[in-house]
Amino acid sequence: MHSPIYVNVRRLISTPLVLDRCAGIMRDELGALMQMRNAPVKPFGVVCGVPFGGLHLSTVYSIRTSMPMIYVHPPGKERDAMIEGIYRPGQSCLIIDDLVTGGGSILETARHLRDFGLYVHDAIALVDRQEGGRRALKAAGVNLTSVLSLEQIANHLRSRGHIDASSHG
């Protein structure tokens, strides 16, 4: 789905109450999924925010749930540690991001976490742009949960008269 809609989820850092609410919705969504009989989300003991978009959400999620948080340094200069935070090899980690397009950022984060002995089964994002990310993640063994899809956002905007049918497919 190609869309002229640009979703700038990173602006959430400027609205703390909305950011907190979004992290709460993620927590509630994951909690509901994990209560299901054949839960589509596996238990996890640590969360990892994807730099940079997922860091603010994972921080608030971590505070709300008292779940430890880690993050993978983005590529660049040499560091002593590729992963910041406390974790144990063999621990299961949930990846948190703000937006998924092709899935590349989550895949890169998952690869680094796995290289350091963490298990990555699941990721959650606020928005799935529905541009192949879910499929790419599934192929790599990562189940994606998203709070909203681009289609849901576009339908809402259209129903409110903010865009017309010609603006979104």
Is residue 1 predicted with pLDDT exceeding 60? no
Query: For 63-72, what is each residue's pLDDT tens digit?
Result: 999 999 999 9
Per the domain annotation, does 36 fall within a domain?
no
pTM value?
Answer: 0.91
Query: What CATH number does residue 141 fall under?
Result: 3.40.50.2020
Task: Confirm whether 5 is domain-assigned.
Answer: no
Is 131 inside a domain boundary?
Answer: yes
C-alpha neighbours within 13 Å on the C-beta side of residue 161: 0
Cβ–Cβ < 8 Å for 61, 96: yes
Number of neighbours of residue 11 by Cβ within 10 angstroms: 11
Q: Structural domain of residue 117, as residue ranges?
A: 10-31+43-167
Q: How many domains does the chain have?
A: 1
Which of 64, 135, 123, 65 lies closest to 96 in space, CA to CA? 123
